[in-house]
Amino acid sequence: MKDCIALPITETSQVGEARRFASALATDIEFNETERGKVAIIVTELANNLIKHAKNGEIILRSLRNNAEYGIEIIGLDAGPGMANIPQCLRDGFSTAGTTGTGLGAIGRQSTVFDIHSVPGVGTVLVAQLWPKKNAGIALRNTEPLEIGVVNLPKLEQEISGDDWAVVNLSNRSLILVADGLGAGILAAEAAREAVRIFRAKAALNPKIIMEMAHAALRSTRGAAVAIAEINRVEKTVQYVGIGNISGAIVTGNKSQSMVSYNGTVGHQIRKIEGFVYPWNDGSILIMHSDGLGTQWSLERYPGLISRHPAVIAGTLYRDFKRSRDDVTVLVAKQVTTDE
């Protein structure tokens, strides 16, 4: 089964389909019966809520990995009407559709990680993550220095995405790559995967050197647009090396700093490889995306969104700015603070 899949939820027949896809993913990553049951509850409640209360509902399923353990991420999104009072909607017994009102509360209780953001008149994005319980029933959570949210999906009528991404965390720095293979389909995916392979193998090196090595390795492929961001947690900087149409930005408060990429195609023609250094402040978030996402986004349109889980941010940008004619990847990274 694919690592990331999007399912439209606009009619009741799609509830069972979403549950089956989620159950298959839970089985693939070897969740036990209890954990598979929780996945089924979350997806069923979420899908029913989308049908009863929202328009243009969609569920995105993604497998997660933390060292040797696997988890599941479930993103629910819609195009309205949104919620003016989220705490009230999360309370058991509250409903605007004449039902028992247990949906959102049940989702939160069954999840290891749960977050939600809603704007009245715009819509809602919800994320629920489930990790297996180990060590006397303690549920695992992300233990990496970065919290990551990703949506990576193929264009309409394609089975495989020509985009790929990767994150490598080292002692004092984290490196992030987003790659977009030329065109679409399997040949584009092969180019993007080769960029990821080189990136993972050479992550200890400077991003400029990694890009040079990727350029050599991708000569036998279609080529790809590639960007690498290195977050240095000691120096509090981001070094960014980009070739082609991968967009990158650092958002801090109400300010957004776009990062520079050069024209070219990794594996074929590159005019110049150069790294640019930007400040990485407390509270900053990094956003990188392929050209399957429009560039006109601004987090200022969504009050409070910057403080939400990166998967909620990624889901919001995907919902409102995706281009269905192309593969899409949007990755959001936020440094984990000691109180999280």
Please give the structure tokens belonging to residue 245. Answer: 């149409």
| Amino acid 176: pLDDT | 98
pLDDT tens digit string along 69-99?
Answer: 899 999 999 998 888 777 776 765 444 444 4
| Amino acid 80: pLDDT | 86
Q: Which residues make Cβ contacts (< 8 Å) with residue 332, sequence separation at least 6?
A: 148, 149, 150, 285, 286, 287, 310, 311, 313, 314, 317
Please give the structure tokens belonging to residue 282. Answer: 């407390």
CB 234 within 8 A of CB 174: no
Q: How far apart are CA 21 and CA 19, in angstroms?
A: 6
Grouping H, G, I as helix, E, B as strand and the rest as coil, residue 262 is: strand
| Amino acid 92: pLDDT | 58
Which residues in 42-162 belong to E strands, given as ranges?
Answer: 57-66, 69-77, 113-119, 123-130, 133-134, 138-139, 146-153
| Amino acid 73: pLDDT | 97
Please give the structure tokens belonging to residue 304. Answer: 């409070």
DSSP 301: G
DSSP 132: -
Q: Within 13 A of 100's CA, how many CA atoms are on the CB side?
A: 6
Report the Cα–Cα distance between both ends of the chain, in Å, rounded. Answer: 31
Which residues of the chain fall below pLDDT 70?
1-2, 89, 91-102, 134-143, 338-340
pLDDT tens digit string along 320-339?
Answer: 999 988 999 999 999 987 55
Q: Give the residues across from 146 on adjacent strands.
A: 335
Q: Residue 63: phi, psi to the nearest 5?
A: -80, 145
| Amino acid 99: pLDDT | 43
